[in-house]
Amino acid sequence: MTAAPLVGTDPASAAGTPAGGRRGRRFDGPARTAAGFALGAALLFAVAPLTLSDFRLSLLAKYLCVAMVAVGIGIAWGRGGMLTLGQGVFFGLGGYAMAMHLKLADAGPGELPDFMQLYGQLDELPLWWRPFASPWIALPATVLLPMAVAFGLGSLVFRRRVRGAYFAILSQALAAAMVILLVGQQGTTGGTNGLTDIQGFFGYDLDDPVNQRMVYFIIAASLLALLALARQLIRSRYGELLVAVRDGEERVRFLGYDPAGVKLVGYVIAAGMAGLAGALFVPAVGIISPALIGIVPSIEFVIGVAVGGRATLLGPVLGAVAVAWARTALSERFPGTWTYLQGLLFVLVVAFLPGGLASLWALARQRRSDPAGARWWRRSRAADPAETRTEVSAA
């Protein structure tokens, strides 16, 4: 990661300050965090529902699901250096697990879901569908299933020291494989159409705007919960270790750690977050399909994170929402160009602002409140390029 000084300002101020506790900032630590969460809650639970139309609010619910995936990518990629281009797989596992349950509930006890009746090849429910009839199995499965798959894949891959671009490509191949599998098993998965036309959510009619609002509130609360979890993770000793593995995997190994285990934990947590996001996406949108979880959406998840700032807590969330919003706004008006625009945005950010938009914010804040820090930043920028080069190659 060549993003050194910019991205670096954040983990240090996040994790270093509370430990040292010497810097007498007026407004820092628990008070600031509580204020931040209160502000977030006020925006999500009061401002948005009061000012947005039902239609806009349901769009926002969708974006917040993407933001939940982004929180996980922020941990796996931003903190752990694992560029995962296949989060759609975990999003999809969570989404399909939820959708299967809701389809079965819609159909009623003993009945086949509508699409299975339509294709008419089956007289009874396939074996692997049956557990999902029970909410006690289906709901935990939306999170645990993605985590289990991530654990399996991660165990195979990290120990063999697959990383960097190889890991990215491998994770993307998984997304492609999952789509092929789903499309190929049309009779039991709904094929290209996916699982559509979901009516009810645990007894509540999803066509009713009141219930749509309830789903929105559940999603908003889940996002805040994931942020709290991510924050704890980033600030824990594990979070520091994860950054160390990202920046010097070999070095960590020589200190007696097995980096594969450290990465595995971050990857599995990110998968669980994507799974929860997928599960909540289903009642918000009423559908889950291969097109929503394949390679393209998997890459779009990552673009939002890159734009917002992958190594920060809030950057991925804000970036994900912004990019998802821009996608809706622009692809309506200029269909066809959005894909290119999005690609261009990604390249620009990666090339010129590797810390994402969050790094601009961190820099501005530092200049204002911490002149010494800003001076250090300038100095490190002006540092002997030769020295910088050897450090980079050493890492």
Partner 1 sequence: MTGPQLDGLCVRDLRVTFDGFTAVDGVDLDVPPGDIRFLIGPNGAGKTTLVDAVTGLVRATGSARFGDRELLGRDVHRIARLGIGRTFQTASVFEELTVVQNLDIAAGATRSWWTLARRRHRVPDEVAAALETIGLADRGDQLAGALAHGQKQWLEIGMLLVSDARLLLLDEPVAGMSHEERDATGALLETVSRDRTVVVIEHDMDFLRRFARSVTVLHAGKVLSEGTVAQVQADPRVQEVYLGVDTASEA
Where on the chain is the footprint of partner 1 (CB under 8 A)?
A: 4-5, 7-8, 11-12, 15-20, 22-23, 232-233, 235-238, 240-241, 243-244, 247-248, 250-258, 376, 380, 387, 390-391, 393-395
How far apart CA 93 and CA 90 sit, in angstroms, is 5
Nearer to partner 1, 21 or 184 (CB): 21
How far from 388 is each of 2, 7, 90, 128, 381, CA to CA, in Å? Answer: 10, 16, 38, 55, 9
Minimum distance from residue 353 beta carbon to partner 1 (Å): 17
Q: Which is nearer to partner 1, 211 or 388 (CB)?
A: 388
Nearer to partner 1, 337 or 390 (CB): 390
> Least distance from C-beta 258 to partner 1, angstroms?
5
CB of 145 to partner 1, least distance (A): 22
Q: How far is the CB of 22 from partner 1 (least distance, A)?
A: 7
Amino acid identity of residue 260, one-letter, is A
Rama region for 164: left / alpha / beta (φ>0; ψ in -120 to 50; rest):
left
**Do residues 67 and 323 touch, judged by C-beta distance below 8 A?**
no
Beta carbon of residue 298, minimum distance to partner 1 (angstroms, whole number): 27
**Alpha-carbon distances of 339 from 175, 259, 344, 379, rounded to whole Å:** 19, 36, 9, 39
Is the separation of the CB atoms in 319 and 305 below 8 Å?
yes
Q: How far apart are the first and last CA of the chain?
A: 8
Alpha carbon separation from 288 to 31, 109, 111, 356 (Å, rounded) = 40, 22, 21, 30
Report how far residue 70's alpha carbon sits from residue 316's, in angstroms, rounded to the nearest whole number.
5
Nearer to partner 1, 130 or 381 (CB): 381
**Of 24 and 256, which CB lies nearer to partner 1 in the complex structure?**
256
Give the closest residue to 339 by CA, choosing from 352, 355, 358, 323: 323
CB 311, min distance to partner 1, A: 9
- Residue 279 CB, shortest distance to partner 1, in Å, is 24
In this complex, which beta carbon is closest to partner 1, that of residue 24 or of residue 109?
A: 24
CB of 248 to partner 1, least distance (A): 6
For 265, the token pair is 């934990």
Pick the closer one to partner 1 by CB: 190 or 239: 239
Cα–Cα distance between 64 and 51 in angstroms, integer? 17
| Nearest residue (CB) to partner 1, 129 versus 377 | 377
Q: Which is nearer to partner 1, 197 or 250 (CB)?
A: 250
CB 8 within 8 A of CB 356: no
204 — phi, psi (to 5°)?
-100, 140
CB of 29: closest distance to partner 1 in angstroms? 12
The kind and range of the H/E element at 251 are helix 249-254
